[in-house]
Amino acid sequence: MTLKIASIVPSHTAGGIGPVCGYAAESLANNEPWEVSIVALHDPERTYKDPDTGLNVISLGLANNHCEKFLKWLDQHPQDVVITSDVNLIEPAFPYFPPSTAHIVQLHDSMKRYRQVAIRNHMFIDGVVTVANHLLVLLNPKLDKLQFKGLTRSVHNGASYPEPCVRESDPEKIRLLFVGRMDPIKGIFDLPPLLHQLDQLNVPAELRIVGGESEALKKKFEEAGVERNVIWSGKIPHQECFEAAANSEVLLMISRVEAFGMVTIEAMSMGCVPIAYDLPSGSREIIEDGKNGFVINPGKIPAFADLIENLHGNRRYLEQLGNSAAERARTQFNATDLGRELGKFIRDVLKNKAQHPSQRITAPPQFTEVKKTSGKYQVIPESFRSLIRKTLCDYPNLTNWIFRNL
């Protein structure tokens, strides 16, 4: 009998979860003898089958009564396994999933409130899969105390990459790349002092910023006297992000909190060398320090600039690092491996479920309309949140601890 597997996401395109789960679903559909679907709760209603992979791409268009409507869909389209990713609007429906359906919660974020989903629902789920090992370190002790009978595992993210290209280096300058939203959590206010320090060292640096624009950040570049060294690309299509990486030597991964780091592996795949802060994050699991990138002491701008100066002065080493980075991303963090490891976990969960089935509630469900939930931090007015982020992010280690534990 062909297994039916459904990956449930908020949206196919919004945020990073939809595309990552799409990579995994495509790989499962390509390589497993299963009927695989990726289901977006909130995108406009649509259903089609990808002719190349056989993946069912479904959008339910849910705007209200999310729990009832999703359970109705699940009743009409029975699944052997459902994998849910950041779908808090249907969380009250978790206990009412059919007993025959194995439920796996997938965690993509470092913040505590995401882990709490698995902890709150430990009786009703059969497995938890995280995108990085450091998330399991925080989750497993909590589940062990609750005597969780399901399985947990870390399966690193992966991606489908464009064909490698011939990189054209510019020995006259070192080209830096930052990709991310314009948020202090992403470390954007480390960029002006870094460029200023490089300027003081007479290192000809060019910084391309992808992901948006920020008047506050522009002002900081102007105050540092380095605005001439910055190229603003704004928000660009995903494919163009690969092109930006192919035309850059160094990726600046300076986020205070990063569960995995899709930007990191995608840039590495194009030969762009990552420099990341040494914090509990996916960077520690992706980058082999000194071999295909660097993990450095957070916020130490002079040492950061010295490293970039050394790379600019040793182009042969920089090229070797880039080649090694591309090899690591393409061989260790690709969509095929992601699908294969996720497939193994699914099989193990089904085997374990036969011996240790999760609980389900069979009584007719009664739901009140669920509002999209936010953590305690999100209920603070945005103006104050912005000030908090700006202040906290001057202390990378503290910020990382707070967002992972509070």
- CATH code assigned at 195: 3.40.50.2000
Note whether residue 237 is domain-resident.
Answer: yes
Both 206 and 140 in one domain: the answer is no
Both 217 and 302 in one domain: the answer is yes
Both 25 and 116 in one domain: the answer is yes
Both 182 and 328 in one domain: the answer is yes
Both 243 and 354 in one domain: the answer is no
Note whether residue 254 is domain-resident.
Answer: yes
Q: Write out the residue range of the structural domain in which residue 262 sits.
A: 174-332
Do 349 and 35 contact (CB within 8 A), yes or no? no
Q: Give pLDDT tens digits along the chain (406 positions).
A: 699 999 999 999 877 899 999 999 999 999 999 999 999 999 999 999 999 899 999 999 999 999 999 999 999 999 999 999 999 999 999 999 999 999 999 999 999 999 999 999 999 999 999 999 999 999 999 999 999 999 999 999 999 999 988 887 788 899 999 999 999 999 999 999 999 999 999 999 999 999 999 999 999 999 999 999 999 999 999 899 999 999 999 999 999 999 999 999 999 999 999 999 999 999 999 999 999 999 999 999 999 999 999 999 999 999 999 999 999 999 999 999 999 999 999 999 999 999 999 999 988 888 876 555 555 556 677 666 667 666 767 788 888 888 788 7
Note whether residue 178 is domain-resident.
Answer: yes
Note whether residue 392 is domain-resident.
Answer: no
In this prediction, residue 315 carries a pLDDT of: 95
In this prediction, residue 167 carries a pLDDT of: 81
Note whether residue 393 is domain-resident.
Answer: no
- Beta partners for residue 49, in sequence order: 56
Do 188 and 214 contact (CB within 8 A), yes or no? yes
In this prediction, residue 379 carries a pLDDT of: 65
In this prediction, residue 400 carries a pLDDT of: 85
In this prediction, residue 166 carries a pLDDT of: 82
* Pairing of β 46-49 and β 56-59: antiparallel
In this prediction, residue 398 carries a pLDDT of: 82
Both 123 and 184 in one domain: the answer is no
Both 211 and 181 in one domain: the answer is yes
Both 155 and 245 in one domain: the answer is no
Mark 20-58 as b/e (b = at least 16 C-beta within 10 Å).
bbbbbbbbbbbebebbbbbbbbbbeeeeeebeebebbbb
Note whether residue 196 is domain-resident.
Answer: yes
Structural domain count of the chain: 2
In this prediction, residue 378 carries a pLDDT of: 62
Both 325 and 357 in one domain: the answer is no
Cα angle 78, 80, 82; round to 5: 90
Listing from the earlier edge strand, what are the strands of the sheet with 174-179? 230-234, 205-210, 174-179, 250-253, 273-277, 294-296
- Beta partners for residue 4, in sequence order: 35
In this prediction, residue 399 carries a pLDDT of: 81
Do 159 and 335 contact (CB within 8 A), yes or no? yes
Cα angle 280, 286, 141; round to 5: 40
DSSP code at position 32: S
Note whether residue 45 is domain-resident.
Answer: yes
Both 204 and 152 in one domain: the answer is no
The terminus-to-terminus CA distance of the chain in angstroms comes to: 45
In this prediction, residue 13 carries a pLDDT of: 86
Both 93 and 183 in one domain: the answer is no
Burial level of 308, CB count in 10 A (0-12/13-18/19+)?
A: buried
CB atoms within 10 A of CB 387: 13
Note whether residue 376 is domain-resident.
Answer: no
Q: Estimate the share of the chain in helix, then strand, then coil, as percent rounded to the nearest 5.
A: 45, 15, 35
133 Cβ contact list (under 8 Å, min separation 6)? 154, 285
Both 205 and 321 in one domain: the answer is yes
